[in-house]
Every structure is written in C-alpha cells, then in structure tokens.
Structure 1
Amino acid sequence: MRTDDLNFDLPAERIAQHPAEPRDTAKLMLIDRATRRVEHLRVRDLPNLGILGSSDLMVVNDTRVLPASFHGIRTDTGGALRGLFLEQTADGQWLLMLETRGHLKHDETITLHDTHGQPALTLRLTQHLDAGNWLARPETHADPIDTLERIGTMPLPPYIRKARKQAGLPEVESEDAQRYNTVFAEQAGSAAAPTAGLHLTPQLLEQLCIAGLSLATVTLHVGLGTFAPVRTELLEQHALHSERIVVPPETIAALQRTRESSGRILAVGTTSVRTLESLPDPLPADGYTGSTDLYVHPGLDFNFRFTDRLLTNFHLPGSTLLALVASLPGVGIEQLLDWYRTAIDHDYRFYSYGDAMLLL
C-alpha cells in the first residue's frame, strides 16, 4: 500500500493548540464498526452510554512524559541547537534527536543549558544513526531523568510550538507540564504523550469503575517508534524503532479474567494496543518486560488478540498511528478517512491536544 494513501487534507484551524478544559469535555466521535453508526458526544458521556460493562477492561498506558526538550551550544562553533532526549541505552549513552544549523560531527561536544541559559552538562557525540538522531555520552555521570527535570521543557509537538510562536505566545507554557501528561502517569520515560489518555479525569475513571469497568495499566515509553514519520513510498517498507514496554502481573491476570468472562478489552491509545499485541503467547503470569517494534498496517494479516475496542485521537496524515487504526477489523483506510472527513465537517480538533474517537 502506498504511504500517500494515508494522506488527507486538514484545515490549519482544526489542529488543536491547547487541550479541552476540563479534559473530559473533549468531543468524542462514537463509531460502531459493525453498523457504521456515528454519534457525536463528549468524553465525559462514556459512563452513561451503557457500552462499557462489568466484565469489561480498560487498559491505559501509565508512562510519564519527561521534560525531554532542551537547548544547547556546540562547543566548537558556538552554534545553538535544540534537542530531544529519547532514551538511555544499556551502556549509558543518550539517544537524542538534534536540530541545528550546519552539520554535526562525530566526537564533537555539546553543552546543555538550563532554562536560565546556564551550562549544565556536556555531551560528546559518539555515533550518527539516521536523520537527526545521535548517540551521545555524558562527560560526567548524569542521570537523564534528574538532569531533564532540572533543565528540560515539555516536548510539545513542533506544530503546536510553531503555531503558538506565530500567535505571539510562548512555545511551551508552564501549564503544559500538567496538560501533556495523563492523570495516571507514573513511569517516567516518554518523549511524547500517549494522547488518548489525556482526556480521562479522576472523576471520569471513578464513574467508570462504579459502573463496573475494570482498569489495568501497561507501560510503553513513547519514542521514535511511535512518532517517527513514514518516509518510504510503500507502507510495508517502513520499519519502526523499538520502544520499551512493561506489562505487570496484575494486568496479565486482568486480561485472562476478561477473556474467561467473555468481557471486552478497551485499549486507550495506540501505544496500549501495541503493548498488548506484543505480548507473547501464552501469557507470562509473572508479567512481561521487553521492547516492541510492532508495526501494524493495512494489508498485513494481523490478528488483534487483546484489542476489542479503541479510544484514540485523530492522527497525522501518513503516520504509523493512522495505519494501525485503519488495520482494525471493520475499518480500512477508505472508511477511516471518511470518518476523518466527518470529524472535520463537525469541527473536531485534531492531533495531540485534540478530540477523540471511540471505535466499538
């Protein structure tokens, strides 16, 4: 399948620059895949719809977004750069996405600065991977999470930062530290938010639990595998970078109980889908820790074992996220893009801070 087949036209005003307040007032497009019925609701309506029952399970990604965006200076040239921390490798190096004028060189050093412009840490570039991605080694011992908490800012997507800058607003606002994390974010490690979960509030989760819905967590630390663009002509030529995943024993047990009771599993976000569908068979009772480069796209004969329903945002054209949603049974790319056009006509907001759809 051609990657261009995942493209669609989106008016600029449909790209959300700020989230709905409160979170659960975001619009919700409810879609019945079997009947093609579409309803236009709000996320806060979920407990009252009678579609989530006592034997059902909701699975959320509890990763926490790091303030992974930073500024620095090239030691040799004095040139400014902007970086994004993606992960720390097993040998202690940092995987970074770097943007700067000119060409970075192997073995050169960069100095990271805190939010007041003061030097905080020097990194030496050790290996150029692809595009703007580099491995770098700190010249002194530094825990990346602690360092980023001191010097970093929230890694909002470029389209949000650009639009805010054009409007004369700060590219990153202090409120984004809370806005760009879910209310159940616990495990630090992501460079981007699992955005479908941003719509859920403690009150909404409590109401869903009162209605009998069970809640379980998985962890996928969002990195290049989730948001790297597809640059190949054909979808099947693209390869995903791996991302770390953890599924605790309690979630394994919840998945087994749900299947034994004929309940349905609602995955919140494509990262939850990729984590669940990466689990080995049979399920390991003591939990699972590993990595996934699972890439699901139309044309792939893929069996979704643990994704009966999906709550998801409206995704970028030509993205692996769009490809995954289109691959669900009863969807397909033509039907999905038709629903996207309906969302545009009904003034839904798109992308990270945008509205949501629920596929039944």
Structure 2
Amino acid sequence: MKTQDFYYDLPEELIAQSPLEDRSGSRLLVLNKKTGETQHRIFKDIIQLLQKGDCLVINNTKVIPARLIGEKIHQHNNCEDGNEHGAKIELLLLKRGENDTWETLVKPGKKARPGTKISFGNGILVGEILDVVEEGNRLVKFTYEGIFEEILDQLGEMPLPPYITQELKDKDRYQTVYAKNEGSAAAPTAGLHFTNELLEQIEAMGVTIANVTLHVGLGTFRPVKVDNVQEHHMHSEFYQVLEEEAAKINEAKKNGGRVICVGTTSCRTIESASDENGVLHAGSGDTSIFIYPGYKFKIMDALITNFHLPESTLMMLVSALAGRDHIMEAYKEAVKERYRFFSFGDAMFIQ
C-alpha cells in the first residue's frame, strides 16, 4: 500500500479559513460504507440519520493555547551564541510529562540545543531545553510562579493548523462546546459542528452520548513521509476512558445499537481500548494506533468526521472504514460540489 494511493487534488480555495457563524449549518456528505452511495445534507440533519439505541462517542479534550513565542536568554559562558541574544523562538506544547516538563516542537530547532533557556512574557515563564526526543522534538522544563494553566492562558495562542492563514477572532470557535479536559495541541474538529441544542435533541431521541478523552498531538497531522504506508510511525497520544462511559458504549453495542464516533480521535481511543471481542475497557494510557485499510474495527460502526488532507493517516483511517475506492470517489464529489475542507470545513457521515 502506497502513500500516493491516498492523494487527491484539492483546489486551495476549498480550504476553509474560518468557521461558519452557525456551527451546525455546515454541509454533511453522507456516505454508505457498503455501497459507496452518497447524499448531500446539512449537518443538523444528523438527527434524521441517528437512531434510538445508538451511542454517540465524543472526545471532550480541550485545546490549550499551546503556541508560545519567546526569546532566547543569553548565557554568558556560551560565546559562540553571543549574537543570538533575544532570538525569537516559537514553542508548541505537544504532550505533558511529569514535573512541569513538556514534549514540544521548537522552531527554529537549531537554536534549541539542550541547556538553552527561553523567556516568555518577559520572564513570567521560562523554559529550559533538557533533551532532544523522537522526531526532533524537545523536552522542555518550565519554571514559573502561580498556576501553569493561567499563565498559558495569558501568554499562549491557539495553535491553528498551518493551512489556516487567517487569525481566529474568537478563541472558542476552535473548541467543541463540550471541551472539558485540557491538553490538546489541536481540536478534535469533527466535534466543532455540534451545538448544545443539537446534542440535547440527540439525547432526547434516545441516543446515548458517551465521553472519552484523547489529547490530540500534532502527530495526527504529521505528513506520511514514507512511500510504504506500513512503515509510517504514529506519534503517541494520551487517552482516557472512564468506567461509566465504557459501560454506555458496551451497553449500546450489546443491545444492537451502533457505536458512532465523532472524529477520528474518538475512533482511535475506543479502538485502542477495546479487546478482540469488541468490548471496551476503561483505563488510560498512551496510544499510537495507526488505522489503515485492512484494519478490522473492533467496536466502531460509523464515523462523523471532517475532510482530511491528501496522503494523511486520517485519509487512511476513513479508507479502512469505507474502502479506499468509496472514499476517493466521495472526496472527488465533495470537491466537485465545492464542500469546505479541513478543520473549519464541512463534515462527512460514514455509516
């Protein structure tokens, strides 16, 4: 299986640069995973596509303002760097470790050797680079006074994906309405289409809503740089499934309801935490599950998701669910019908 098998042509103007006023007013492409048939709907119509007894699985992670812009602190004993005093350094928080250490992405990396110190907000927050970890990421230890989350709120920016070039006016529009557990470097964007009102209507129909948490790292968006899909290495992300939420999902499954994931992150969480018999187990840990065609889904039946980047691992995941040919045809149709693509774009329901 080749990475280029998952390429499609996307005109740049179809990449959504900003969210719609009305979250649930996006378009919805409905794809029948068995036949490949499609229908064009509005996202609110999801109500007509869900059934009593189904379980909707949402990822309640919250995006933290993970992008920090700082300055390198000059250290006298290091002459060769003498001219780099105050050099701008950008840090992206990817994954929280113990004792105020984070795995981060640092730009420019060459200015970020172990021992380098970076000051943010005139020293309100100071990061010291401890080590280089996988993929050239850096392990950084932070020192500050007060509460880290509050400092981050004050200094950090929302880490929008690189294909979004406009500034986001309202920070909350890059959060789902049910975002609760802080820790993501990117939003689980399929969830952006839901309003509280829509979720209430869905529950009133007899659909169970189960919460899981997966803190989205940027590994999800990392381009596949190998020709052979199987050689791609996924970055690990933290997930958590609580006992009562696992019970809701197992119950629905046992009673013949469908388990419908909102977003590839919810999908990867429950597929990571399920056993071969399709039973979901509560627990937490790191997952680097990589789902591509040939994968047998253990528990998920259907998926609500956005449109993904060509040749991405997410294209491979949806192809595993609906078959590559059906996905490529549906994407071609979405391009022809001028759907909006990526994080702030329209949605797809694969059932």
**TM-score scaled to structure 1, two decimals?**
0.89
State the 1:157 CA deviation.
0.8
Structure 1 SS opposite 2:202: helix
Q: Distance in 1 between matches of 2:142 and 2:38?
A: 52
Structure 2 SS opposite 1:158: coil
Counterpart position of 1:146: 150
Q: Which residue, 228, 235, 244 being the options, matches 2:229?
A: 235
Counterpart position of 2:191: 197
Counterpart position of 2:72: 74
> 1:197-216 residue pairs with structure 2 within 5 A?
197-216=191-210
Counterpart position of 2:285: 290
Structure 1 SS opposite 2:308: coil
State the 1:92 CA deviation.
3.5
> 1:1-360 residue pairs with structure 2 within 5 A?
1-47=1-47, 49=48, 51-76=49-74, 77=84, 78-100=86-108, 102-113=110-121, 118-140=122-144, 144-161=148-165, 164=166, 171-173=167-169, 175=170, 177-281=171-275, 283=279, 287-298=282-293, 301-328=294-321, 331-360=322-351
**Deviation by residue 1:235-264 (Cα, 9 ceiling, x = unmatched):** 111111111111111111112211221111
Relative distance call for 1:72 and 1:274 in structure 2 (3 A) is same
Task: Give the stretch that moved more between structures: 239-248 or 348-357.
Answer: 239-248
Task: Give the stretch that moved more between structures: 33-42 or 23-32.
Answer: 33-42
Counterpart position of 2:80: none
Structure 2 SS opposite 1:277: helix
Unpaired runs of at least 5, structure 1: 165-170
Contact 2:124–2:145 under 8 Å retained in 1:
no
Q: Distance in 2 between matches of 1:217 and 1:106?
A: 39
Structure 2 SS opposite 1:119: coil
Contact 1:310–1:358 under 8 Å retained in 2:
yes
Relative distance call for 1:3 and 1:311 in structure 2 (3 A) is same
Contact 2:67–2:91 under 8 Å retained in 1:
yes
Q: Distance in 2 between matches of 1:322 and 1:36?
A: 16
State the 1:80 CA deviation.
0.7
Structure 2 SS opposite 1:16: coil
Q: Distance in 2 between matches of 1:17 and 1:96?
A: 25
Q: Which amino acid aligns with 2:25?
A: T
**Deviation by residue 1:78-116 (Cα, 9 ceiling, x = unmatched):** 211222111221353111111128542221111122xxx
**Deviation by residue 1:297-352 (Cα, 9 ceiling, x = unmatched):** 12xx4221221010000001121111111111xx2223212211100110100000
**Deviation by residue 1:189-236 (Cα, 9 ceiling, x = unmatched):** 100000000000111111111221111110000013322221222111
Q: Which amino acid aligns with 2:304?
A: L
Contact 1:153–1:172 under 8 Å retained in 2:
no
Structure 1 SS opposite 2:295: coil
State the 1:129 CA deviation.
2.3
Contact 1:79–1:100 under 8 Å retained in 2:
no
Structure 2 SS opposite 1:305: coil
Contact 2:240–2:283 under 8 Å retained in 1:
yes
Q: Which amino acid aligns with 2:292?
A: H
**Deviation by residue 1:26-60 (Cα, 9 ceiling, x = unmatched):** 0000111223221111101111x2x3211111000
Q: Which amino acid aligns with 1:294?
A: I
Q: Distance in 1 between matches of 2:195 and 2:310?
A: 28
Q: Distance in 1 between matches of 2:274 and 2:110?
A: 45
Structure 2 SS opposite 1:257: helix
Structure 2 SS opposite 1:240: coil
Q: Which amino acid aligns with 2:141?
A: R
Q: Which amino acid aligns with 2:288?
A: D
Q: Distance in 2 between matches of 1:228 and 1:193?
A: 15
Q: Which amino acid aligns with 2:67?
A: S
**Deviation by residue 1:252-309 (Cα, 9 ceiling, x = unmatched):** 1112211221111110000000000011437576x211121101112xx422122101
Q: Distance in 2 between matches of 1:322 and 1:136?
A: 32
Structure 2 SS opposite 1:127: strand
Contact 1:266–1:311 under 8 Å retained in 2:
yes
Q: Distance in 2 between matches of 1:195 and 1:357?
A: 12
